[in-house]
């Protein structure tokens, strides 16, 4: 039932169903207000349907002696769930512990030519902390691939942003608001009724969270919530009329 579409496509469907071309002058005038209504609707549906733990993962590479890296796009410190590095010999991800990295830890000298790695405390990363950037310790002794798991918020900040909640619910919510603004209470009530019916169906489908990257229930990490779309998960937008 669910579908996940870009803000541009959601806006096009709203304007098309209301009899407005997405290219005419009138549509250009209402484009920004509609964009804001779309963002507000996505947030409202996200909270109401309890999509509180929509998780995705980003991989990043750190080189030897690199101890800081940027957050993934649209990710804030509070969104980070876990960080792990790929252990080539064990062929698995090894989690880092979140902790505090003291100044004494990072002030150790760099390895001089001919000195053992242990002199500088180089090794595989073991600890991370979240500040202006992601910081790791110890200083990497080689290049490592890091997996950063982080939550996704519903904000549709540009035309290419893809909804993490049901797009059709967003369309109906926005149409109801637009008809209300235009003073057409009858059509507003119709669209609001359709929206309520669809959202109630979505809420009724809630179940223990499925970590869709691994195809299993993950009760140890999450409570009883429903996930939305996870970018790059392979769950591509459904085709809708």
Number of continuous H segments (helices) and E segments (strands) in the chain:
5, 10
Region 143-169 average pLDDT: 88
Contacts for 98 with CB less than 8 Å, ≥ 6 apart: 83, 127, 128, 129, 130
Which of these, 191, 165, 169, 194, lies nearest to 179 by C-alpha position?
191
Strand partners, 148: 58, 83
Please tell me the predicted confidence (pLDDT) of residue 227.
40
Q: Residue 116 — φ and ψ, nearest 5°?
A: -70, 155
Please tell me the predicted confidence (pLDDT) of residue 102.
79
Region 156-184 average pLDDT: 91
Question: For 46-86, how does the pLDDT look when each residue is reduced to its tens digit (9 = 90+)?
Answer: 888 766 556 778 899 999 889 999 998 778 898 899 999 99
The structural domains of the chain, with segments of one domain joined by +, span 7-52+154-217, 55-151
Q: Tell whether the model's pLDDT for residue 145 goes beyond 50.
A: yes
Q: Tell whether the model's pLDDT for residue 93 goes beyond 90.
A: yes
Please tell me the predicted confidence (pLDDT) of residue 13.
92
Mean pLDDT score of the chain: 78
Region 137-148 average pLDDT: 93
Please tell me the predicted confidence (pLDDT) of residue 115.
57
Measure Cα distances from 41 to 195, 212, 235 in Å. 11, 25, 22
Please tell me the predicted confidence (pLDDT) of residue 101.
84
> What percent of the chain shows pLDDT beyond 70?
71
Question: For 194-239, how does the pLDDT look when each residue is reduced to its tens digit (9 = 90+)?
Answer: 999 998 888 776 543 334 344 333 333 333 333 444 444 444 333 3
Q: Residue 207 — φ and ψ, nearest 5°?
A: -150, 170
Q: Tell whether the model's pLDDT for residue 186 goes beyond 70.
A: yes
Region 133-159 average pLDDT: 90
Please tell me the predicted confidence (pLDDT) of residue 232.
42
**Residue positions counted in the chain:** 241
Pure H helices in 82-166: 103-106
Region 12-20 average pLDDT: 88
Please tell me the predicted confidence (pLDDT) of residue 217.
35
CA angle, residues 238, 240, 241, in degrees to nearest 5: 165
Q: How far apart are CA 77 and CA 128, in angstroms?
A: 12
Region 13-22 average pLDDT: 83
Please tell me the predicted confidence (pLDDT) of residue 114.
57
Region 171-182 average pLDDT: 94
Please tell me the predicted confidence (pLDDT) of residue 155.
83
Please tell me the predicted confidence (pLDDT) of residue 113.
55
DSSP 241: -
Q: How far apart are CA 17 and CA 24, in angstroms?
A: 14
Please tell me the predicted confidence (pLDDT) of residue 82.
94
């Amino acid at each position: 039932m669910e579908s996940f579409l870009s803000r541009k496509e959601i806006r096009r469907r709203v304007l098309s169903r209301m009899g407005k071309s997405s290219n005419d002058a009138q549509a250009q005038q209402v484009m920004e207000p509609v964009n804001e209504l779309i963002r507000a609707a996505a947030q409202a549906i996200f909270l109401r349907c309890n999509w509180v733990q929509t998780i995705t993962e980003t991989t990043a590479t750190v080189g030897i002696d690199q101890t800081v890296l940027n957050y993934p796009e649209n990710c804030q410190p509070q969104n980070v769930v876990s960080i792990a590095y790929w252990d080539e010999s064990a062929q698995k991800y090894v989690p880092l512990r979140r902790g505090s990295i003291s100044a004494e830890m990072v002030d150790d000298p760099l390895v001089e030519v001919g000195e053992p790695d242990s002199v500088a405390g180089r090794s595989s990363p073991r600890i991370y902390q979240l500040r202006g950037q992601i910081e790791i310790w110890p200083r990497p002794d080689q290049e490592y691939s890091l997996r950063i798991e982080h939550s996704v918020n519903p904000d549709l900040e540009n035309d290419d942003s893809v909804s993490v909640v049901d797009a059709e619910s967003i369309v109906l919510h926005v149409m109801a608001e637009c008809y209300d603004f235009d003073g057409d209470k009858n059509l507003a009530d119709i669209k609001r009724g359709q929206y309520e019916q669809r959202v109630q169906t979505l809420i009724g489908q809630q179940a223990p969270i499925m970590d869709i990257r691994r195809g299993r229930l993950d009760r140890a990490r999450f409570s009883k919530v429903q996930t939305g779309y996870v970018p790059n998960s392979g769950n591509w937008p459904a085709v809708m009329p």
